[in-house]
């Protein structure tokens, strides 16, 4: 079962310069909410920003990670 810390670490490792804040929404280890701030988001649309974060987890989204709610910004 993925933990918020594990998700945070994987996002920050995969996206250069990213800072992530991840919460388990239900305590069940499968519904998460992540706020991700990364410099490279500056050139991307919101859809593309979310795609980058989803891409970190590939097929795990919809599988072990049932839901990953996102807020992304460049800042």
Partner 1 sequence: MSDNPVRDAIQEAIADHEIILFMKGTPEQPMCGFSARTAAALEALGTEYAAVDILPDPRIRQELSAISNWPTIPQLFVKGELIGGADIVHEMYESGELAQALGVQPPADAPQEAPAATEPRAPPLQIDNNLTQS
Binding site for partner 1 (CB under 8 A): 46-47, 50-51, 54, 61-62, 67-71
Torsion of CA 59, 60, 61, 67, to 10 degrees: 170
Nearer to partner 1, 18 or 65 (CB): 65
Tell me the closest approach of the beta carbon of residue 18 to partner 1, in angstroms.
17
E strands, 1-75, are 19-24, 31-37, 67-73
Tell me the closest approach of the beta carbon of residue 38 to partner 1, in angstroms.
16
Tell me the closest approach of the beta carbon of residue 14 to partner 1, in angstroms.
15
How far apart are the C-alpha atoms of 53 and 63, rounded to whole Å? 16
């Amino acid at each position: 079962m993925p933990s918020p810390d594990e998700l945070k670490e994987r996002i920050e490792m995969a996206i250069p310069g990213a800072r992530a804040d991840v919460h388990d929404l239900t305590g069940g280890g499968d519904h998460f909410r992540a706020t991700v701030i990364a410099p490279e988001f500056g050139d991307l649309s919101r859809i593309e920003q979310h795609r980058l974060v989803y891409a970190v987890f590939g097929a795990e989204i919809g599988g072990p990670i049932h839901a990953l709610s996102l807020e992304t910004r460049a800042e």
